[in-house]
Structure 1
Amino acid sequence: MDTARSPPPLVVNSTNFLGKIDENHDLYMDYGAVGDGCTDDTLAFVETWKSTCNAQTEIAAMLVPDGNTFLVHPMAFAGPCKPTSINFLISGIIIAPNSPESWKGRNQGRWLIFKGVDGLSVDGPGMLDGRGKGWWDILCATHRHLPVISFLQCNKVSLSNILVVDSPQTHILITGCNNVVIRYLSIKSPETSPNTDGIHISSSHGVFIHNTNIGSGDDCVSIGDHTSDIYITDVDCGPGHGVSIGSLGRSGNEVKVDNINVIRVRFNKTTNGVRIKTWQVGRGHVRGVLYEDINFMDVSNPIIIDQYYCDVRGGCESTRTGVQISDVRYAGIFGTSKSKVAINLNCSQAVACTDILLDTILLAPSTPGKKVISSCNNAYGSSAGIVEPESCLLE
């Protein structure tokens, strides 16, 4: 299996954009923004985006100036745009409405949306504050995703040097995109906040996440269906639920996930480490997965494949279907496990996991004097180097 390649160069150069901005006024101020954190500045953002997206130049820019806090309601930055490159510079702070009541009559599924915009760079060093506490206190099952920032059907996108905090649910959503670079982010929400995934990826290809810190109430990174060529490198995860592929196949659909690479990731006191989770009714495949140079510190469930994933444990009927999981390599895995079962490969009786490789793994109990074990169900593969706890794979 190939190791991770370096991310492609960013498609924009922010130093070029700064010269495009009016020398005397910030663009947002020119369109009537107040920036006091209380006044609704949504219209100013809408009008500035229109001017930027329709600019008759090859390169265009927007600036959220430093020293200001902008209250913005749900809105879409829609393309396609005339410039081939757009830089969205966030030096100040953008905040969401403070309570769910403020969202009535507006799009409650998104906050800041970039849709159909190619050649986009969103750069800091500012902050996006989803002010999600009000959402955490209500039944989250009636709301899906509610991300701080979404990229939908965008190509050649970069997101960097931003602090993203307290999303109502998922912090960053990437759907239907190609060639996305996410780097030098800090994503933070309380460990108790429900469904606050750091980054969720679906139906996207060529996504690079590196040098990023994620602490949340759910998965640090979750990878959905119809994804390929995903590279997650040099990431700190915790608190949270780890890095997950899935859950997949809930509706009995055909799953297609290929070439997922998780390299040099550190998990600190997360509930899970590296996880693949699928529903029994799913079909299709997950293949070409590499977990390499991984460190666990007091992680409850370091290595998991769960092909019996269900909303209620044991509450789903057995089926003769399943998602084919194959060509999964765990290499250079070290650290401590809070649970007795440090390696748990619970594969489908209907569709076995195949070509699993455990290569140089050393997992010890978090509590001295305890022990850790491996548990396998219908999982086939091999081991190499030192593997502790001992491999339970079928050959």
Structure 2
Amino acid sequence: MACSIYYLTNIKTAMGHFALALILGLACAIFACSKSNEDAICFDVMDYGAVCDGTTDDSQAFFKAWNAACSSETENPSIIIPKQTFLVNPVVFRGPCKAKNINFLILGRVLAPDSPQAWEGLDPSQWLVFHGVSGLRVSGSGLIDGRGNGWWEQSCRDHPDLEGCTSLAPTALNLISCKRSSLKDIHFVNSSQTHVLIMGCDGMDIGNLMIQAPEISPNTDGIHIQASNDVIISNITVGTGDDCISIGDSTSNIYISNVGCGPGHGISIGSLGKSGNMVQVENIHVSKVYLKGTTNGVRIKTWQVGKGYVRGVTFKDLYFDSVENPIIIDQNYCNIRGACKELQSGVHISDVVFINFYGTSSTDVAINLNCSRSVACTEILLKSIQLTSASIGHTLTSNCTNAFGYTFGMVQPQPCLQI
């Protein structure tokens, strides 16, 4: 059964398609455990003691169902979270599992604890974790609710003078060291921090997700990818308080397409090299993205103390609706603008393509390529860029420092690349 949809950059159409994905996700779940599917054996969390009243901790029932499915000799076991409401404390679902593939079907609502105190003595960076699983398939028509308000109210970013403020909060869903796995059709809301983390994974297929959090919520990235390879992200809608999608170090072969982004901070590679480490990021492809009212469009940001490279990056077919800073490369990234001393080191950014960009900028500098005076940006290509101001009477400009490359076709605003 085909369980994919096509995302259109019109938000209303995307919402309609997301509803269709929920229906198809439910159909897929039913098929996975139907009698006609001889390889499928289902492990319903209700059979392992889940109370599903939204107030009683059901994490042990989830954990027991996982262990039973993971140790099962069947080819395609499925853990079922039915159409009920479940409170789940922090839990780690560990592999490897005996089955070639293992399904985790979320049809109901999974709630995080509503108080940070539930994490006392535990890792405060994670809530739901899959670790070391191959052939994992997380899907369904359900909702994962991080209930992050308690963490936001004590965030050091927004409450720096608060005694005991926290700079680290739980990611809603962590996929760590997983291979040949997928995440489909789930609706995420209000994670305490990042909604989905892909860490140390190889071969991930992510699609048909809806991710939502308030625009003012701190550090609530939609999806963050770190130290992972061969990741496909498609047909998703993200509106949060931070990056819609962010790409960290040691990543390669990342393909992102058909994304609705906003509110949020756009799509980012970085920041990279903060600790002076060797950066290795390459073969990143982003296409067919609709950005509305975001604080950035697409950006690459690196610290001067870093080393290594970012190369082979393509941003193609993007539409901007009143977006601040549509195109940014910043090799002099600093927590406080202008506060970091200029150094003779840097991450080399090269072979970056911006092609077929249309729409409006809410800032006057629409193209900002701030490259290191010591390690220049090279082989930058701007092709078919048509950006206009979102404000009547304003003229857009470009700003370049030590950025080398070429332009083809119409590029507006006037480019400033050095040849």
TM-score scaled to structure 1, two decimals? 0.94
Aligned counterpart for 2:155 among listed residues 139, 153, 161: 139
Any idea what the Cα deviations from partners look like across 1:295-341, whole Å, max 9, x if unmatched? 00000110000111111111111110000000000000001001010
The yes-or-no answer on 1:386 pairing with 2:410 is yes
Task: Give me the CA root mean square deviation.
Answer: 1.3
Equivalent residue letter for 2:78 = A
**Deviation, structure 1 residue 393:** 0.2
Equivalent of residue 249 in structure 1, options 273, 283, 293: 273
Q: What amino acid sits opposite 2:62 in the alignment?
A: F
Q: 1:43 aligns with which of 43, 60, 63?
A: 60
Q: What is the one-letter code of the residue matched to 2:53?
A: D
Partners of 1:109 and 1:143 within 8 A in 2:
no
Pick one of 54, 57, 65 that aligns with 2:82: 65
Q: Compute the displacement of 1:92 (Å).
A: 0.4
Counterpart-to-counterpart distance in 2, 1:361 and 1:164: 33
Corresponding residue for 1:276? 300
Give yes or no for the alignment of 1:98 onto 2:119. no
Amino acid at match of 1:54: S
Q: State the AA in 2 paired with 1:27.
A: D
Distance 1:280 1:105 in 2: 36
For residues 18 and 338 of structure 1, the distance between their equivalents in structure 2, rounded to whole angstroms, comes to 52
Map Cα deviations across residues 208-247 of structure 1 (whole Å, 9 max, x no partner): 1110000000000010000001111000000000000000
Question: How far off is 1:145 after superposition?
Answer: 5.5
User: What one-letter code is carried by the residue in structure 1 that aligns with 2:142?
Assistant: G
Query: Alpha-carbon deviation of 1:189?
Result: 0.1
Residue 9 (structure 1) aligns with:
none
Give 3-state SS (helix, strand or coil) of 2:373's partner: coil
Question: Which residue among 311, 314, 333 is the counterpart of 1:309?
Answer: 333
**Any unmatched runs of 5+ in structure 1?**
1-5, 7-12
**Contact map agreement 2:200 2:228 (CA 8 A) in 1:** yes
2:12 aligned partner: none
- Alpha-carbon contact 1:18-1:61 (below 8 Å) kept: no
Deviations 1:100-126 (A, max 9, x none): 122223331200000000001000100
Matched, 1:33 2:57: no
Q: Deviations over 1:55-80 (max 9, x none)?
A: 011111000001x1000000100000
Q: Secondary structure at the residue paired with 1:59?
A: coil
Partner of 2:194: 170
Q: Contact 2:262–2:294 at 8 Å: present in 1 too?
A: yes
118, 124, 136: which one aligns with 2:140: 124
Residue pair 2:155, 2:218 contacting (<8 A) in 1 also? no
Contact 2:41–2:76 (Cα < 8 Å) also in 1: no
- Give, in whole Å, the separation in 2 of the partners of 1:249 and 1:225: 8
Q: C-alpha distance in 2, partners of 1:116/1:186?
A: 25
Q: Distance in 1 between matches of 2:337 and 2:168?
A: 21
Residue aligning to 2:15: none
- Quote the residue 1:52 is aligned against: 69
Distance, in Å, in 2 between the alignment partners of 1:190 and 1:60 is 36
Aligned pair partner of 1:264 in 283, 288, 305: 288
* Distance (whole Å) between structure 2 residues aligned to residue 18 and residue 193 of structure 1: 41
Work out which of the residue numbers 104, 108, 112 in structure 2 matches 1:88: 104
Cα distance in 2 for partners of 1:338, 1:354 equals 27
State the AA in 2 paired with 1:57: T
2:384 corresponding residue in structure 1:
360
Work out the number of aligned pairs and report it. 380
Aligned to 1:10: none
> Percentage identity across aligned positions?
52
Q: Is 1:326 matched up with 2:350?
A: yes
In structure 1, C-alpha distance between the alignment counterparts of 2:352 and 2:336, rounded to whole Å:
27
- TM-score, normalised to structure 2, is 0.89
The runs of 5 or more residues in structure 2 that have no matched partner are: 1-5, 7-27, 158-165
8 Å contact from structure 1 (residues 17, 59) kept in 2: no
